[in-house]
Amino acid sequence: MRIAIFGNIYRTVILSHIKVIFNYFNSKNVTILIDKELYDFILEYGDCKMENTEIIQNDDFVADFVLSIGGDGTFLNSAARIGRKQFPILGINTGRLGFLADVSSDNILQSLESLISKSFIVEERALIQVEILDGTELKYPFALNEVAVLKQDSSSMISINTSINGDMVHTYQADGLIVATPTGSTAYSMSVGGPLMSPQTQNFILSPVASHSLNVRPLIVPDSWTIDLEVYSRSRSFLLALDGRSKVLEQKTVLRLTKADFTAKLIKPQNQTFFDTLKNKLLWGVDKRN
């Protein structure tokens, strides 16, 4: 078995988790592929024994599973490193909420044993693909959570002409617009009032950021539809963010958003549901009076 490991190299708290992981896998017939930056981080700050290890120098690697150690940001970065290879990924949480990285430190060994015995479920999650119609290329033009267009270097709002399947729908006057997947419905989109959606729902959510209109609300559309965005800004530029990876673009640049032709594969415990996660992470539906 080959297991790749990525981690948050800015928090030494992950070192105790990594030690547990290596101690467990050293006793198994497992080859550990470890990201070069994480490997150097462990050599400098950690004291774990790294046996039967290969270094991941770039994104050209083959694994049966991937471990992401950190928060949801680390998980999203790990998913980007996996790309189209679609290796199932398990998130070990050392961050805060942890919707994607949802394995707590108390359940690490139990989760590792489930990998070895393959007693888990794999959920397939849709991604958004972004095409810049003037030909500008993005290193990784996919987002598991959301694509956001945001104002940049200005306190003034931006105008976002939004067309769906070629028909002009609305011009958002706002600080920005988020187009989220169901997976991303519990992330940035939720923070601006977007709805929560089951990960298996085949939709996109359009959620304006600080809209300058009281009658504009989040909009849900099928993920089989094509969304075009054209931005106008007083600063003559705007920020494009894909799961937090950002790029500054000139105004009038047209973005085309579609559903990616591949999915991300998330490893989940057999006894855990989306609603369990909502209750545990957000106290969703909890009655404080009881």
Active site residues: 72
Do 140 and 83 touch, CB atoms closer than 8 A?
yes
Q: What is the DSSP letter of 183?
A: G
Query: In sequence order, which ranges of 50-197 are alpha helices (DSSP H)?
Result: 72-82, 108-117, 188-191
d(CA 131, CA 68): 27
Instruction: Report d(CA 146, CA 226) in Å as an integer.
Output: 15
Question: Which of 90, 50, 98 is CA-nearest to residue 71?
Answer: 98
Angle between helices 14-25 and 36-45 (to 10 degrees): 100
Tokens of 232: 């106008």
What's the CA gap between 14 and 30, in Å, rounded?
A: 21
